[in-house]
Structure 1
């Protein structure tokens, strides 16, 4: 048992240390522009990471597409069940549904699955990340804003990176070596920058009452366990893909969703920030248990 938890600690601790450095930068008031770094990651880091990693990793494209389908179903399930729960609790859907639907699979999910499941695990998590990112920057914005924008979807670099990566995977082609090396370098920026940003953002969030945060965190974990179990059975996932799906479903609320809530329903911003904080801290306790006993 001690050996199991030591292995789990070796997986989780590097992620916490990197996020802790970002937290320390915020406490020290060091210059750190979240918007600039977020733009670099979303417009350069993520697309190049997707292309370079997926084109170099030997995984079945059919299973990768199955994981994308499972991710879409997971988000839809979180959305439908979250909507019903929020209506039952009589809490504002515009404020809390987006953060309840979207997990932090980028900042936490990618490094955790890379350390726990290797390159293949990270590749399958990429499928989840792609779907979550597209959902965050479309549905995730539309719910709090109360409006639809197809332009955001059509101009997302993530979409075109996925198309290129899937084409390379399907044809067995590779990028020219100079481009592949460049994408490796640029994509390698993503995970450390995401972890630094996570820690910095958590240190600077303006949190409110934590009562709703605790209830939402508990609700999310219950939904995550049920949705992950159902999808694993539905798709027949085993091994690495099973582990990646479970970890992705367990991820805490995405920090990116806070920006939309703060912009469109700012009166609930502090409570959403509290939920993000509590769910992130709770995940630190839940992940070792999941890695030791479920995956």
Structure 2
């Protein structure tokens, strides 16, 4: 039991410490441009992390694609179940469906999977990240705005990074040593910066309707656990794949979805902020339980 507890602390602890750094920066009013940092992570950090890690062949191409397919099914189920729930409680899906669908598999999921399962776990986790990133820059934008824009997708560097990484994985090609090292260095700043930004963002969110945010976050967590446990059986996921899939499914609501809500569905921005806040805090309790009893 002591060994298990130590493992849980070693996985969750570093994540919380990095997020706490961001929270402290916000509380002390230290200069921190979230737009610049977010742009660096999305345009440089994510793409180079995806290319450098997947090209290292920690997982087989077929296994990665199969896992990514399972992740796509999970996100689709989140959308279907979330839509039905929102109709029942009479909340507008344009404001609340994308937070229901898109988990924070980058800021929270990646570091947790890396610490829990090492390089192989990180590779599988990136499969889930790819699916969610595509979702955020499509459905995550289109729902609040109320229109479909292909330009928003094709202008994202991460899409081309995925294509390059899948080509390298599929052909067994390795990057030249110097290029690989550069990609590794650039991709290395993505995870710590994401965690620091997460802490900073949570500290600066203007949380209004905390009650509504709480019951939405609780439903999201319950839905995620059920979907995760069903799909690991349906897809026959075992070992590292199973553990990573469950962890990514139970990751909290994505902070990124809040941006579009705050701009295009301002009336419900406080409710979504509350959902993000409670969901993230709930993860502090949920992750140790998942690591202890479900993985």
Give me the TM-score of the superposition, normalised by structure 1. 0.98
Corresponding residue for residue 253 of structure 2: 253
What is the match of residue 115 of structure 1? 115
Structure 2 Cα separation of the partners of residues 31 and 51 of structure 1:
31
Partner of 2:165: 165
Distance 2:287 2:172 in 1: 35
SS in 2 for 1:112: helix
Report the counterpart of residue 191 of structure 1 in structure 2.
191
TM superposition shift of 1:57: 3.3
**Corresponding residue SS for 2:55:** helix
Residue 265 of structure 2 aligns with which residue? 265
Regions of 4+ moved over 2 Å: none
Aligned residue pairs total: 295
Q: Which residue of 2 aligns with 1:91?
A: 91
- Mapped partners of 1:111, 1:77: distance in 2: 24
SS in structure 1 of the partner of residue 46 of structure 2: helix
Root-mean-square deviation (CA, aligned residues, Å) is 0.8
Q: Secondary structure at the match of 1:254?
A: coil
Name the structure 2 match of 1:106: 106
Give the Cα–Cα distance (whole angstroms) in 1 for the partners of residues 159 and 103 of structure 2: 19
Q: Does 1:60 align with 2:60?
A: yes
Q: Retained in 2: the 8 A contact 1:99–1:272? A: yes
SS of the aligned residue for 1:56 comes to coil
**CA–CA distance in 2 between the matches of 1:293 and 1:230?**
16
Gaps of 5+ in 1: none
After TM superposition, give the deviation of residue 235 of structure 1 in Å: 1.1
> Which residue matches 1:282?
282
Give the SS at the match of 2:207: coil
Q: CA deviation at 1:95?
A: 1.2
Cα distance in 2 for partners of 1:293, 1:62 equals: 29
The CA distance in 1 between the partners of 2:200 and 2:220, in whole Å, is 24
Whole-angstrom CA distance in 2 between matches of 1:294 and 1:230: 12
Q: Secondary structure at the match of 1:236?
A: coil
Match of 1:216 in 2: 216
Shift of 1:192: 0.7
1:141 CA drift (Å): 0.5
- Shift, 1:288, TM fit: 0.3
TM-score (norm 2): 0.98
Q: Is the 8 A contact 1:210 1:274 kept in 2?
A: yes
Match of 2:179 in 1: 179
